[in-house]
Every structure is written in C-alpha cells, then in structure tokens.
Structure 1
Amino acid sequence: MVAEGMSKLPLDEISKAIGAMGFNCVRLTWPTFLATNDPLANITVRQSFDRLGLNFSDVSLIERHNPALVDLSLIEAYQAVVSNLGDNNVMVILDNHISKPGWCCSRTDGNGFFGDTYFDPNVWVEGLNYMATLFGSHKNVIGMSLRNELRGPRQNVEDWFKYMAMGAEAVHAANKDVLVILSGLSFDNDLGFLSTRQLNVSFSSKSKLVFEVHWYSFSNSEAWGNGNPNDVCGRISGSVTNNAGFLLDRQFPLFLSEFGIDQRGVNERDNRYFSCAMAYAADKDLDWALWTLQGSYYLREGVVELEEVYGLLSLNWTTVRNQTQLQRVQSIQQPFRGPGLSEVPPYKIIFHPLTGHCVTLDSSRRLALAVGPCSERWNFSDDQTLSLTTGSTPSCITTVGVGMPVALTECDDVMSSKWALLSSCHMHVSTKVAGGNATVCLDVGGDDRSVITNPCRCLGGDASCDPEGQWFKLVTSTRLIIS
C-alpha cells in the first residue's frame, strides 16, 4: 500500500525520471481495503512497516529520502504520490489491483472474482466510489481501472456484465471526467465475449469506456519455448486479436495495460514474445503500460528487498537496468496514427521490433539504407514495390544480392524489386534476387546498422531458429515527420 522505491530515492526524483524516460502515465495500483478499511488506511507508513516486521532501516531510509511521507497515513501517502506525479506532468490511472493487500495474482488467492473470500462486490463498489471522489480534484488522474486480472473458478460472463456495469456507473457518478477501464477474464487475457454483446451503461460508452488486455510470454510459455517463432507469433497475435483486438475495429479504445520482459535478456521465451508484442502494439497503435518500473519490492511473497527483473530500473533504482530495452519501448511511446495525428496522408514505416528502429536513409552512404529513427515515409504499393513517398523522383528499395546492402533505385527501373510478406507473422519482407530464383529477406548487417538482404530464416518450422533480426513490420502512420 506504499508506493515502491520510497526508501531508495526522493519521490520527486522518481517522478522526474519517469518523464525523462519518455513515459507520460503511471498505472498506480491500490487495494480495495485501502479505501474501505479505515483502521488499515489510517495507520501511518511507519506503523505499516512495523506491523510487517520489516527492517528498521527501511523506515530510516524512507525518513531520509521522503521525510514528509513516513508519518502520513497510508491513504495520505498514496495521495502524495499521485500529487507529485501530477506536479511532474505525469498522468495516473488508479488501478484496483486486488482487495486484500498482498502480491497478485493466483487463481485461489480469494481476490480473483466477485464473491471470492475478499471480493465482496458491494465493498468493491464502495471502494471505487471513494477513490473516484477522493481524486476528483486531481486533474492528472485520467482513468480508473475497475479491477485487475479477473480470474479463478468463480469467473463467468454474466457476473462480469452485471458487476462491471455497477462499477462503471459508480465511478461515472462520482467523477464524470475519468476514463473507465475494464479488464477481461482469465487474468485479463479474454474479452472475446464482447464480440456478441455490449456492456450497457447510462453514459456514452464510446467516449468514456476503455478495455484493457494483458499479454506476457508465460501466458503461452510452451508455445514460445517449443514452437517456430514465426508460426507462434502469427498464431498468438491472431489469438490476441480474437480475444481483444477486434474491439479496435468497433472503435473502442484498447489498452495493453500490462506487457513486459525479463530486462536482463536471459529469458529466450520472453525475448521471442517481446519482438512479436512490440510489432503488434506498433501495428495496432495501442496505448500500453510496461510492467514494470520498480527495481525492487519492500516485501514480496515473504522476501524482503526482492529484486524485480522485469523492472525498468535496477535494484538500486538509480540506473536503468537495460538501456537497449528502454530504447526499444521508447520507439512506440508516441502514437503513429492516434487522435490528432491527421496532418499527413497515411504512409508506412518499416519497423524493426528487435531494435525499436525503422528503415531509414543512411546519411553516411548515398542511396543506402540503415536502421535508425522512424523518419521516412514509405509506400507499399499494389505492384509490390517499396518506395519513398517524398522527393521529386520516386525511389524504390532494390536488392543487390545475398549479403549485400539494399539500394534505392528509380521505381521505373526494370531492376526494381517486388516485395512480399512471408511467414505466418507476415514480417519477413522478401524478394527474389535479380537474375536468379533465390528468395532473400530484409535483414540487419553485422554492423547492427546497415539494411541488407540474406536468405530468409526460420521459414521451415524449426523451433530452435531465431528469425527476429529479419522481422520488419510495415506499420501505417500519419505522424508528421519534421526533417
């Protein structure tokens, strides 16, 4: 119930670091009991640590870094975090993560679904109303997530519709301005039941309701470990669309409110999944929240000072755990075609999810291409050419040969390459080598910068093969590019 990291750094430093890394919003968790159990909510931060038997040094460090917090009540400390984020122009989504404070989540923890031991629907609605009212004056609180990861043996569609409508109405009645964010079933992997039925609420649903979905490698762990990555990415991306992505086609906002990776880069299943998820998020232009910021926990599942390897920050909170991974997610922090981005006609970027870069002109070599900023407008035409949409003379990407850098040629040149999207994930951008039958795919050269063509990898179903370097996603964008 106390935001992590208060024993590591001053709150204001953490808030500023969030903005400096390019993030504009925090999904801040809270347990129902913080809003509905006054004796619990009104103990101080110091008393809470004492009750849990945590080392006195934790309180001393909070007192050193955040002296104004240590003797506030838990609910006041939560408010202080929200306010400080607002002072630093960071938006907040209040996320009702669990009822009874503790680590989340399991199917049998008593917090999973309406009617579970700690999940009384009436108490939950009371808590939502309390928090929506309490934070009504905090203009940086822009949304309330009604409940994280509904799950367990009690879960069913009828109760979802009944109680989610109750929760949504309670939040709307208390605060007309915040977005109402609704999670699905099965640990928020499934919103498919909305394909045939809508949630009935008294307010305009398409101006206020947002649906959220989660996506991790461990949701499909065996597939990522044992399957061909091209096939697995194609199949699971299709499943995400069937379970949640279809809502975009119905003009409902979809929020990928949890996705993430072991930041150390040692988990092969995570690594395979994350490039796929990055491509999907870019292609669908999703809003998203990365799990997670914190480098450590005061106490998690009985372990004091547990390190969070999915955390963007290191154990000491003063450095980024993996600068390369941060760079990757920064590539999708700005919308590609979201609201307000209609300054230019739609064009394509050629996005390389493994690096977070895009195919662009190589400033050091004339008519050569490299991976770098997403600063070029491409067109993928009906005649299967990939051409620049700027300049007086159209230029097309053309293969020169196996292992060779691609070139830009005039599009009416008979040598201009025709490109096709191969494999189940549609991310192998392929062509035939001029004068031969060899099929090659866009790739990144050994200098980790130049764009070349190589024989297409992993098309044969080999589970041990790694195709990520050859994954390029053609993403539609209307973002204004300023040269």
Structure 2
Amino acid sequence: MLLPRMWYLISIQWLFLLASSSIGLIQVRSQEGPLFASSRWIVDGEGRRVKLACVNWPSHLQPVLAEGLNMQPVDNIMKLVNDMGFNCVRFTWPLELATKETLASTTVKQMFTWLGLNQSLANITTHNPWVVDLTIADAFETMLERFQQNKLMVVLDNHITVPGWCCGLNDGNGFFGDRFFDPSVWMKGLNKMALLATKFPNVIGMSLRNELRGPKSDVDLWYMYVRQGAETVHAANPNVLVILSGLDYDKDLSFIHKRPVNVSFTGKVVFEHHWYSFSHSGAWKGNLNDACGWISASIMDKAGFIADEDRAPMFESEFGINAQKGDVNDDRYINCFMAMAADQDWDFAVWALQGSYYFREGVVGMDEWYGLLNYEWNDVRNPTWLKRLSSLQKPFRGPEMKQSPTNDGVLFHPQTGLCVLEGKDAGWSLSLGPCNDATGWTYTPQETFLLKGRNQFLQAAGAQKPVQLVKSEPLASRWNQTSNSKLHLSAKAADGIMVCLDVDGVNLVTNECKCLAVDSSCDPTSQWFKLVKSSHI
C-alpha cells in the first residue's frame, strides 16, 4: 500500500540518513573477500556476519554493457547505490561474453552503432567517455574496477547465454543441453570469469546460472552439472562464494531436503531463490491471510528450509515490485515478503537498480517500473518503497552477536518496515519507529508480551483505543496468532471483545480484527506484526 504522495518529495539525502540508522548498532558492512558460508550465515574471516544487501545491475542484455551509462557518470550511479544503503551489486553477464571472442573484442562504439543506438552512444560519450573505445570485455572488467573503487561488493551472475532479456520457458537458454546451453562451453565461461575475479577481492561470489527452467529440467542432471560448475569455479578462484540456483525459475530447491550437494570444498556454498508476486499466479486474488499463509509455507518447504535448518546461507537474489504505479498483487505480495524476509533475515538482491534500458525486447529506451532509480538514473523512483526496504539492509542477528531466546525479539510491522518502540508521550504509549530503537519483547508461556528489562506487559484496552503497558501479569492480555498468515496478534480486551494489534498513523492501538478469512477484497496488513528474533535488544 502506498503512503500519501508527500512521501515522494523526500530527498535521497534524507532517505540515506534514515537507512543508515535503521538497525543502529550493526552497520551495513562493505567487505572485500574472501567471505565464507558458516551454517546459515555469510561471514568474514573472523566469523562476523556480512549481510549482503544488494541491487541487481544488468549487463547481460544487448549491447552487453552495464545499463545506465547513457544517463549518468558511472561513479554517480555507484554513489547512489551506496547512499541508498546497499553494499553489494549482483552484476549479470551473458555466457557469450566469456566464450565468444567476436563479441568480447567488439568495441562499445561498434556495438552501439551496429544496434542503431546512436543517441545512447552520444549520451555515453558525454557521461562516460572512458568506455566508448573499450572492448565489451574490457568495459566489463573496468566496471569491476569501479565497483572496487566505490567499495561495493560484487556477485557475478551468469544470467543467460545469448545476450538478451531473460527468461523464456523455451528460449534455448534454460537448462543444460538446451540449444544455447552447452555444459562444456558453460564451464569454460565460468572458469574464465572466475579467473578474472581473482583480480578483484570485492568480487565475493559467483552465481553459476540464473533461473534454470524448461522442459529438459531434470534433478539428476542438475546435481551432475551444478557440482561440475561449482568445482570449476572453486578450482579457478577458491576465494569466491559459489552460489547455486534451483529449478523452476529458481523457485524450487526442495530436492535438497533429502539429497545434499556434495563438493570437494567446504565453507563456500550458498543457495539462491527468487520470489515475485507472479511466482504464484492468481494466488494473491484470494483472502490475503490465507494466501500469505500457504505461500509462506510453500516457500519454506521449497527453499527457505535451507537457512532455517542451518544448512547453508539463503540469498534471495531476486524480488521486487512495480515501483512506478500501484499493483494490487504486488502490494499484497510485498507485505508477505517483508514479514518473511525480516523473520528469516535473508541476504538479498532487489530487482532492480536500473531505471531504464538501452535496448530491451526490441524497444529502445524502455522504462523499468521495477527500478529503484528513476528513468534518468539520478534519483529514487519511489522513496516509500526504499524506506521500507531499508529495514532489511542490516542484519537483525548473526553468529557473532548476542543470541536471544526463541521467544524474544522485536515486533516488526511489514507494511511500514518499522518496529514497535516505546512512545515518548506520557502514559507509556507505544508507536512505530526505526528498528534500531525497537523495544524488545518476550512472548511468555502465559501468552503475554513482556517488555524486556521492565516488568511491564502489553494490554489491549479495547477497540479504537491505544494499547497499554501494565505492571501486573494477571492484568495483561493473552495474545495469540489468529489468522492463517500467523501475522495477526489478537487478544480479548477488558470489555470482552476480541481485538487485534493495529496502527493509527504510527501509534499502536487495537481494533476489531479484519480480513481473517474468506473476504478477498479487504486489506489486513495494518494489523500484521511479526516477532523477529534480534540481537539488538
């Protein structure tokens, strides 16, 4: 749900200040490698968590040049990435960049001229003259240098074989043995790119292949070729994380439940997953509590279990929303996503950074409505979305941090990306605010919420009334998860009426529980809260 239009006037400088304080004690750490996989965490050499908060920046479409260089100087764009609170770029590349010499040796000027992108070339000459006479391969390598200079970590993602938009079910790029997907050529390309990455310690990971899919998909072949690809990358560059994608457009890793991936090395394997509103077509049209409940369970069963069971880190390497105009399915999906992403504390890469493309699917200068940046690449497209997303950029927890009991945490509000904190008004009021200021809670065996460090309990006073803090547990309300989303917190108020935790502006109140079942038209998300384990309380 979009907030009033006044939010769109917020400057990027204000948003940066907000993002930089959203978890307070733990900063978004920009890190040169090597990094390691330790249980469910990505960590540095001292075992401290490094949370990947990435943007996707494509370089896999024609003309095989990082998007946006026709709009702004590259260092200006990278500064925007930093200013928005991100520490990492998932940088995509087509396999032919590493395996087809006639492509790699073509200059940027020749490529844009051949495609008829004369205005884009003129604009690149204005904003980034350094790149015009470089070969496509040298331009890619120079981008890695610029990322390093701007202190951005990089995950190299082999997105497709033939440069172009991804991903069609039968486009010949989907699975091993497809027309454009020869496994032996693929491994040669991985080897070449892994060797290139040895020059750049900020290249901390390599994703073997994006969104495996199509009629040839086969689990046994997946294990065979993914192992070979992983071994190829590690042999060429043992420093990088090796990131493995699943089947069905990177939605399905369920086969890992009973059959782990066995490789010769340890401490380097990460799994990735993609989740959009269209990943579950039609599901968001029903009751939102029911939809979020079963979709969340499906996500955990097909992929989320890997991190939840401490098997390996989970990198949510693509997700996003139409940030240009309201979309009902996106609005519904993203509230559910935010709850799970905070609860699981996933590493992530949002789709996408780019505000526009040179050339996509036959269209010159196509707008990217999912882009964090506007069409001109000089400001944030949707500050409200960035503000919410900032709550996920810093870790809630990690292996080196203080570990809280299972029933301790902060109350996270997915609709806003804020957390519950003690209000500054008289009367012990509660409100929403940045998660670095969040109040810690214990959910007790008596089904009460105890304010950590204070002998005070959460009480529901009644419908349309502020929640209260009381000093006596017998006076406290008993709170339960009411809906199938497991995000409604309900209690019986003093007047005997069942109410749910809710917000009025930023203040916490209780209201009649809404949209619990059946009704598909109403929006329950103001009443959604998640107790998220946190090391900051």
Give the alignment's TM-score, normalised by structure 1.
Answer: 0.95
CA deviation digits over 1:271-304, x for unaligned, max 9? 1000101111111111111000100010110011
> Letter of the aligned partner of 1:112 in structure 2?
G
Say if 2:462 and 2:495, in contact at 8 Å, map to a contact too: no
Indicate how the Cα distance of structure 1 residues 283 and 344 shifts in structure 2: closer, same or farther if over 3 A, else same. Answer: closer
Asked if 1:473 is matched to 2:527, the reply is: no
Say if 1:429 and 1:442, in contact at 8 Å, map to a contact too: yes
> Letter of the aligned partner of 1:100 in structure 2?
V
Aligned mates of 1:58, 1:223 — CA distance in 2? 40
Shift in Å, 1:452: 0.5
Higher deviation after alignment, 128-137 or 363-372: 363-372
Shift in Å, 1:396: 1.2
Say if 1:221 and 1:269, in contact at 8 Å, map to a contact too: no
Shift in Å, 1:251: 2.4
Pairing partner for 1:370 from 403, 421, 431: 431
| Paired position in structure 2 for 1:170 | 232
> Letter of the aligned partner of 1:442 in structure 2?
L
| Paired position in structure 1 for 2:272 | 212
Shift in Å, 1:265: 4.6
| Paired position in structure 1 for 2:167 | 105
CA deviation digits over 1:71-130, x for unaligned, max 9? 111111111112111111110000000000000001111100011111000000000000
Shift in Å, 1:341: 2.2
> Letter of the aligned partner of 1:240 in structure 2?
I
1:31-430 map, 5 Å: 31-54=94-117, 56-204=118-266, 207-225=267-285, 227-248=286-307, 249-342=309-402, 347-374=408-435, 375-390=438-453, 393-412=454-473, 414-430=474-490
CA deviation digits over 1:48-91, x for unaligned, max 9? 1111111x221111111111111111111111112111111110
Asked if 1:457 is matched to 2:457, the reply is: no
Shift in Å, 1:364: 3.2
Q: Which has the higher contact order (CA 8 A, sep 6+)?
A: 2
> Letter of the aligned partner of 2:475 in structure 1?
M
> Letter of the aligned partner of 1:33 in structure 2?
E
Shift in Å, 1:345: 6.1
Indicate how the Cα distance of structure 1 residues 403 and 158 shifts in structure 2: closer, same or farther if over 3 A, else same. Answer: same
> Letter of the aligned partner of 2:512 in structure 1?
P
CA deviation digits over 1:179-235, x for unaligned, max 9? 00000000000000111111121111xx1100001001101120112x110000010
The list of structure 1 runs, each at least 4 consecutive aligned residues, that deviate by more than 4 angstroms after superposition, is: 343-346
Aligned mates of 2:138, 2:402 — CA distance in 1? 42
Say if 1:215 and 1:259, in contact at 8 Å, map to a contact too: yes
Instruction: Give the secondary structure class of the aligned counterpart of 1:68.
Output: helix
Matched residues, percent identical? 50
Say if 2:290 and 2:517, in contact at 8 Å, map to a contact too: no
Say if 1:387 and 1:411, in contact at 8 Å, map to a contact too: no
Higher deviation after alignment, 370-379 or 145-154: 370-379
Instruction: Give the secondary structure class of the aligned counterpart of 1:168.
Output: helix
CA deviation digits over 1:136-163, x for unaligned, max 9? 0201000000000000111110110010
Aligned mates of 2:225, 2:315 — CA distance in 1? 20
Aligned mates of 1:13, 1:365 — CA distance in 2? 45
Aligned mates of 1:404, 1:45 — CA distance in 2? 63
Aligned mates of 1:461, 1:344 — CA distance in 2? 36
> Letter of the aligned partner of 1:16 in structure 2?
K
Shift in Å, 1:435: 3.3
> Letter of the aligned partner of 2:311 in structure 1?
Q
Aligned mates of 1:317, 1:30 — CA distance in 2? 21
Pairing partner for 1:25 from 88, 106, 112: 88
Give the alignment's TM-score, normalised by structure 2.
Answer: 0.86
Say if 1:265 and 1:271, in contact at 8 Å, map to a contact too: no
> Letter of the aligned partner of 1:355 in structure 2?
T
Shift in Å, 1:462: 0.7
Aligned mates of 2:325, 2:398 — CA distance in 1? 30
Aligned mates of 2:405, 2:482 — CA distance in 1? 27
Say if 1:98 and 1:104, in contact at 8 Å, map to a contact too: yes
> Letter of the aligned partner of 1:277 in structure 2?
F
| Paired position in structure 1 for 2:73 | 10
Aligned mates of 2:404, 2:462 — CA distance in 1? 34
Aligned mates of 1:318, 1:76 — CA distance in 2? 25
Say if 1:415 and 1:434, in contact at 8 Å, map to a contact too: no
> Number of paired residues?
470
Aligned mates of 1:157, 1:411 — CA distance in 2? 57
Say if 1:285 and 1:338, in contact at 8 Å, map to a contact too: no
Higher deviation after alignment, 259-268 or 353-362: 259-268
| 5+ long unaligned stretches in structure 2 | 1-63
Shift in Å, 1:339: 3.4
